[in-house]
Amino acid sequence: MSPKLRRLTSREILRVLHGFGFDVIAQKGSHAKLCRELPGGARQILTVPIHREMAPGTMLAIYRQAGRFIPKLDLRPHFYSD
């Protein structure tokens, strides 16, 4: 059986990403800009739309975007139900 992508709210996604060190640094309209700074001073930036429920394609895009900075094995339990 293949894992199923969860349906999360933006608040739940922000909570997950905050757990990985990302903080909301700006919000413009319906999008929040998140950032975390690495020990060497490099900054990692993500953008998350603020919606009550995310469309599956949007959830997948956020998962892939966050996967550039966070190991997918760590992200997967938050985004997929096995």
| Domain ranges within the chain, ordered by starting residue | 10-69
Q: Can you give the pLDDT at residue 1?
A: 62
Architecture of domain 10-69: 2-Layer Sandwich (3.30)
Q: Can you give the pLDDT at residue 3?
A: 83
Distance (Å, whole) CA 76 – CA 50: 21
Distance (Å, whole) CA 32 – CA 9: 13
Instruction: Give me the sign of the Cα torsion angle 67, 11, 61, 28.
Output: negative
Q: Can you give the pLDDT at residue 47?
A: 94
Tell me: the pLDDT tens digits for 24-79? Answer: 999 999 999 999 999 898 999 999 999 887 899 999 999 999 999 999 999 999 99
- The structure's pTM equals 0.90
Is-contact 17 66, C-beta < 8 A?
yes
CB atoms within 10 A of CB 46: 21
